[in-house]
Amino acid sequence: MKSSVRGGRSAVRLFGTLAVALSLVVAGTACAAGGQPTDENGNVEVGDPQPGGSLTVLLDAGFAGGWATGLDPATSNTTGANLPQNAAIFGGLFTLEPGEDGEGGQIVPNQAEGYEWSEDGLTLTVTLRDGITFTDGTPFNAEAVLWNWIRELSSGSTGAPRIDLNTSLEPPQLDQAFLDDLFAALPEDVDRDALNGRLNAIRVVDDLTIEMHLNAVNGSLINGFPGANLNLIASPTAYKEMGARTFSEKPVGAGPFIVTANTQSQRLELEKNPDYFKDGLPYLDALNFQSAAGDQVLYQSLLAGDGQVVEGLSSVTLIQEARNNPDVQVVLGTPTSPYVIQLNTRKPPFDDKRAREAIYYATDFAAINKGLFNDEGEMSQSFTASGGLFWHDTVPGYREYDPEKAAEIVEEIGGLTVRLGTTDIVTARSVTTALQTQWEEAGIDVQIDAEPLGDVINRFLAGDWDALLQTAGAWDPSVGIGVGVRFGSTSPFSGAPLPEGAANAGDAIAQGLTTELDDMLAAAIATTDDDERFEVYQQISKYISDEAYAPFGMAFSPAQVMKKGVHGPGLDQPIPALAVNQGVLYDRVWIEESAR
Amino acid sequence: MTSHATAATAARPEARSGALGRVAGSPLARLITRRVLVAIPLLLAISLLVFVLLELLPGDPAQVQAGMDATPEEVEAVRRRLGLDRPAPERYLSWLFGVLTGNLGVSSVQQKPVTEILATALPPTIEIVALAFIVSLVVALPVALLAARKPGGFFDRTIMVISMALLAIPNYVLALLLVLIFAVAFRGMLPSLGYVPISAGLWPNLRTVILPVLALSIPLMAFYARFLRGDLVEQINSADYVDTARAKGVGSWRILWQHAFRNSSFGLLTIVGLNIGGLIGGTVIIEQIFSIRGLGMEMLQALGARDIAVVQICVFIFAAVAIAANLIVDVLYAVLDPRIRYGRN
């Protein structure tokens, strides 16, 4: 027995020695590079961009690092998630550029020269920059944009834009060869009538000008471009030569980089486009995207040198750890999308407004922000945060944390039992656990369901949920998973009430029924005047708050984590997140020579 | 062979094709045939079970694939495209017929034939599982023999402590620790991510599989070593034939290797057979952590996207491998112990 204990101690000593040795090696590795030069204010001095070098970007397999449906903008279902790859391959007609001093952002024409709305706001005219060519040498012109837009609207991708086009115009004169190529690039079962209508509504004016005719004013259309496939213009000639499959794996655009190798949802390798339309850009010779599973793996791979950038690290503890690592720089994005607890008003218990109010009063997001996010999340009372357009920091009459009031209501309604769902990721689970504790203090029984994203989506679709912790909003509240997706009555991801007389969302659409909130959501994009839009969004916030549809919490933006010496817009210059992660403008990303 | 001889063999069916005929007619061959015949309905039952379970999964695959803001018409179009508007029995039979005729269907997400997906997903998984299996046994066997030679000795106690510690660590934690040591601390020694196929060179390939193989095999080698060591010690302490061998002056190594190990190998075989399924299951997590697009990762991603054709075939392959492993174990039993071959045990 004695000898056994001795043996155990020997083993413990062995492990102890190994652990100490390991920590010394890790610490040694971490400290090896040292700090960077700083100016008198302590800010890191960044010199002029230096061309050359190769960069590997690590992406979360569950989001940006998944491109299972390929990278053809017309058939990819993950365009919104694959912003990094898209920026590198296609560049984009418009880009969301960082604002001055890291605040806000603005839409800037990129491959487009500019855009203009007609006086009635129903016709958008986009002009293209002259002299751009795709990387296969063919011209980037209005006909190519038309070919792409029609495919993107008609190819059946789940990311297809939903635009209310005026399809009743006279058919334009179109070249038969163009039509043949377009039809050959569309699914066989495409709806020909709908297709012809789109060809009526989107018209080539001249080689560098294209028009889009709408039925109704759409004030968020241009703001939505940087995250949508309409922004991504691919070479029709390359598609014709390569065929659908090869093209989706190695698409040809006019962006700063050319695809050289692609293992879908695993690794994408790109090299510099020598004929890029911006002089001197891109800076990098090569750019790779590597998919990895989860924050821990992403961060470890960065430390291991298997990549130089992690796009969108959201684990607070790892962000903190990265901040303490002198080899690594951490830049938090400008927050746009706060956490929100959506309440399903279409079934008990939250068809009773009092139950919804109890949740508002029982929820202390400020405490969660302090405990879980080191007070770094930005508190919000509505569907946008300071990085978003139309942000307003408070909502009049918003119900604040008041546990006694919550307990009174719970008693009054004879108890409250809630199934609180969330996506099965560490941060979201931590938030729901904290909420469970807070709510139980108010007498609310809580069961947490943490499920994979697909299952959460299914719950939404089946209406089988009470309360779901989500994020809401986007840079423009009406773009992407914005306020309409979370609160529009016909959105499958909404818990707001259906219009009176509608049995379900399909019925509401068929009968043309809307709620007061739907009308406000429509009004928010029915103008291109930003001041008018701002006012309507304030009304929407007030309405959601008054009806107690969903308490909002902290907006926390994932961080860009990089090895020291990596620079570029969207990396060390924050850009507001269009939806989840901020975009990176890879044509201007560069690495200091000493960091290569 | 003369015509006389041919006539003679024809007259005796069991000797129809010489040695082959002897094997075919042997008790071992009958055992294999019987087990294979049992495996076929078992596989069919599993395929049906998988199909039913996928049907029972909450949510609608058409709605998942149609996207967040699809209209009911769009969802219906996707349903038609995926063939989900057909009755379930018809879909199952159609899938089964496809599998039997080599048509595994098309991935509704990746829009390519499932056979093509398998062609890229199977090699890394097979390589990792096979290497993990070999490494775990190659390490565990000598360690167990050495430990069992002097039970309670320093080596035995050290091995028991280490193996217990390794068994307590889940393989995903172990994977992260291995990355921390071999990729982060000794930067550049081994990559933390990705898979390079053998066609790109043996060393580049091995560099990418060493850590996943270790993550899978270390808990397994600890388990095998503990199990075999325990069984060997029991054999040595309690079996009469060991006492007899000792009385004859047979050395401890020979007793261990030639007597005790042969008997202990039955238990080990059983455990190994049972573990094959777990080993393959482990690749689901390991492939995620090391970003290797193998069968496990394909299945997990297909499950999330409700890509039924891919999920169905992946689960079917996992089940088939587990059944095949057990079949091989049964055959090995029969090879090692003639009593089983002749149905006496």
What is the percentage of chain A residues whose pLDDT exceeds 70? 91
Q: pLDDT at residue B106 above 60?
A: yes
Q: Answer whether A493 sits within 8 Å of B192, measured CB to CB.
A: no
Contact B28, B341 (CB under 8 A): yes
Tokens 């094959």 -> residue: B276
Choice between B180 and B260, residue whose per-residue pLDDT is larger: B180
Q: Show residues of chain B in contact with A458, CB under 8 Å.
A: 58-60, 63-64
Domains of chain A, start order = 92-98+105-235 (3.90.76.10), 265-334+557-591 (3.40.190.10), 339-555 (3.10.105.10)
Q: Answer whether B67 sits within 8 Å of A458, measured CB to CB.
A: no
Give me the DSSP letters along A359-403.
HHHH--HHHHHHHHHTT-SEE-SSS--TTSTT--S--TTPPPP-H
| A474-501 average pLDDT score | 90
Best probe of the B interface among A455, A456, A483, A511, by most B CBs < 10 A, is A455
| B178-197 average pLDDT score | 88
Q: Show residues of chain B in contact with A455, CB under 8 Å.
A: 58-59
Sheet containing A309-313: give its strands across: A257-263, A267-272, A286-292, A54-60, A309-313, A559-563, A328-332
Q: Which of A7, A69, A265 sits opposite B293 (nearest CB)?
A: A265
Q: CA B310, CA B307: separation in Å to the nearest integer?
A: 6
Among the ranges given (A77-91, B17-31, B281-295), the one the predictor scored with the smallest mean pLDDT: B17-31
The tens digit of pLDDT for each residue in A423-452 reads 877 778 889 999 999 999 999 999 998 887
- Those of residues 207-236 in B touching chain A at CB distance below 8 A are none
User: Which pLDDT band holds residue B339 (cuts at 50, 70, 90)?
Assistant: low
| A30-44 average pLDDT score | 44
What is the separation of C-alpha B242 from the centre of its chain, rounded to a whole number of angstroms? 34
Q: Which of B112, B158, B165 sits opposite A10 (nearest CB)?
A: B158
Q: Answer whether B183 sits within 8 Å of A301, measured CB to CB.
A: yes
Q: Answer whether A266 sits within 8 Å of B64, measured CB to CB.
A: no
Q: Show residues of chain B in contact with A305, CB under 8 Å.
A: 183, 187-188
Choice between A99 and A546, residue whose per-residue pLDDT is larger: A546
Instruction: Specify the pTM.
Output: 0.81
Q: Residue A357: what pLDDT? A: 98
Q: What Rg do the C-alpha atoms of chain A give, in angstroms?
A: 26
Q: Which long-range contacts (CB under 8 A, 24 or more apart) does A136-142 make?
A: A136/A235, A136/A237, A136/A238, A136/A241, A136/A252, A137/A275, A138/A235, A138/A236, A138/A237, A138/A238, A140/A111, A140/A233, A140/A254, A141/A207, A141/A208, A142/A204, A142/A205, A142/A206, A142/A207, A142/A208, A142/A209, A142/A210
- Those of residues 58-97 in A touching chain B at CB distance below 8 A are 58, 61, 66, 68-70, 75, 77
The tens digit of pLDDT for each residue in A174-201 reads 999 999 999 999 988 888 899 999 999 9
User: Which pLDDT band holds residue B4 (cuts at 50, 70, 90)?
Assistant: very low
The tens digit of pLDDT for each residue in B224-243 reads 999 899 888 887 777 777 77
Domains of chain B, start order = 120-292 (1.10.3720.10)
**Peptide bond preceding A349: is omega within 30 degrees of 0, i.e. cis?**
yes
Q: Answer whether A300 sits within 8 Å of B291, measured CB to CB.
A: no
Q: pLDDT at residue A326 above 50?
A: yes
Q: Which two tokens stand for residue B71?
A: 């209209």
Q: Which residue of B has its CA nearest to A458?
A: B59
Q: pLDDT at residue A523 above 90?
A: yes
Q: pLDDT at residue A16 above 70?
A: no
User: Which pLDDT band holds residue A6 (cuts at 50, 70, 90)?
Assistant: very low
The tens digit of pLDDT for each residue in B71-94 reads 677 778 788 878 888 898 999 999
Q: Show residues of chain A in contact with B109, CB under 8 Å.
A: 68-69, 77
Q: pLDDT at residue A26 above 60?
A: no
Q: pLDDT at residue B252 above 90?
A: no
Q: pLDDT at residue B267 above 90?
A: no
Shortest distance between the Cα of A315 and any Cα of chain B, in A, equals 16
A246–chain B Cβ distance below 8 A for any pair: no
- Those of residues 163-182 in B touching chain A at CB distance below 8 A are 165, 176, 179-181
User: Which pLDDT band holds residue B290 (cuts at 50, 70, 90)?
Assistant: very high
